[in-house]
Amino acid sequence: MTPSTVTGKVMAILGAFAAGDGRLTLTEVCRRADLALATGHRLVAELVGGGLLERLDDGTYRVGVKLWHIGAQAHAATDLRDLALPHMEDLYEATHENVQLAVLREGKALYLERLRGPRSVPVVTRVGTELPLHATGVGKVLLAFAPEALRERVLAEGLAKHTARTITDPVRLRECLVEVRRTGVATTSAEMTAGAHSVAAPVRDTHGTVVAALSLVTGRRTADLRRLVPTVTTAARALSRDVAQHWSGSGDIGGGE
C-alpha cells in the first residue's frame, strides 16, 4: 500500500534498506517503498542532504552514517552486543571462523554483531542484516524457542529456497525445530549460502527465556562441524550468565512479534 503521509513515505524509504542489501538504486528504493519515482527522488535527495542516506559514485544509495549512529543507540541491543563481544572475540580466537550474534525481529533473524577474519568463509551477513529464520543457524534457534504463534506464521507464509539444501518442507522443519529444542543446538549445511555451514546455540536471560542466538559459520564439513558444538554452547552459556547478571532480559530486543 502506498504511504499517504510524508512521514509514512520517509519511513517506507528507510525501510527499503532493512533487508540488508547495502546498496540500492533509486528505482529499487521506490519499488520497495511503493512510491512514484518523482516522489522518491525528491525525498531521497532530502534524506541524503540530511545525512540519513548516502549517494555513491555509481548512483546507488546506502544508509548514511548519521542514521547508523542513531540506530546504534538502541539501548537493549547495544547492551546485549557489549556483553556478547568478549565472548565472541574468544570464540573467534579459538576458531578463526565467522562469529555471529542475532535476535528475533518481526519474523526474521536480525544480526547485531559479526566477527570474521581472512580465513573465515564468505557469508552474506552484515551487522543490521535480517535473514530468514528457517535457513540460518541462529534463525533456527530463535524460531525453535519462539512463541508457537510465530512459528506457525513463519511456516504458513512459506519457506523460501535459498540453495539446493534449504529446508522448505514444513513437516521436516518442524522435526528439526523439535530437535533444536531438545539439544539446545541448531546446525545448517549450505542452506543459506553454498559452502557455508553453521552451529548455533541459544542465549538466555535470568528466566531462561531465549533472547538471542550465537553462532559459528564455517566452511568445514559435517564431521568437523560437530566438533565445534561444545565450543559454541560453552560460549553461549557464558554469555547467558552475563545476561542474567547484568541485564533484565525482557526479550523485546528485536521485537519478536
Determine which of 43-52, 113-122, 226-235, 237-246 has the lowest per-residue pLDDT on average.
113-122
Residue-wise pLDDT for 183-225, tens only, equals 999 999 888 888 888 999 999 988 899 999 999 998 876 557 7
User: Does residue 248 or residue 231 have the better pLDDT?
Assistant: 231
What's the pLDDT band for 41 if we cut at 50, 70, 90? very high
Q: What pLDDT is attached to residue 242? A: 92
Could you tell me if 239 and 113 are in contact, meaning their C-beta atoms sit under 8 angstroms apart?
no
What is the distance between the alpha carbons of residues 91 and 74, in angstroms, rounded to a whole number? Answer: 25
Task: State yes or no: pLDDT of 106 exceeds 90.
Answer: no
Q: Are 165 and 193 in contact (CB under 8 A)?
A: no
For the entire predicted model, the pTM comes to: 0.70
Which letter, b or e, does each residue of 196-230 get, where b requires 16 or more Cβ atoms within 10 Å of its Cβ? bbbbbbbbbbeeeebbbbbbbbbbbeeeebeebbe
The domains found in the chain, sorted by start residue, are 6-70 (1.10.10.10), 74-246 (3.30.450.40)
pLDDT value of position 249:
41
Judge whether 68 and 77 are in contact, CB under 8 Å.
Answer: no
What is the model's pLDDT at position 250?
A: 44
Neighbouring CB atoms inside 10 A of 107's CB total: 19
Q: DSSP string of 167-232?
A: ---HHHHHHHHHHHHHHS-EEEESSSSTT-EEEEEEEE-TTS-EEEEEEEEES--HHHHHHHHHHH
The residue whose grid cell reads 507464509 is 157
Pairing assessment for the beta strands 61-63 and 53-55 based on DSSP bridges: antiparallel
pLDDT class of 121 with cuts at 50, 70, 90: low
Cell of 50: 540530511
Give me the mean pLDDT over the 228-254 stretch.
Answer: 80
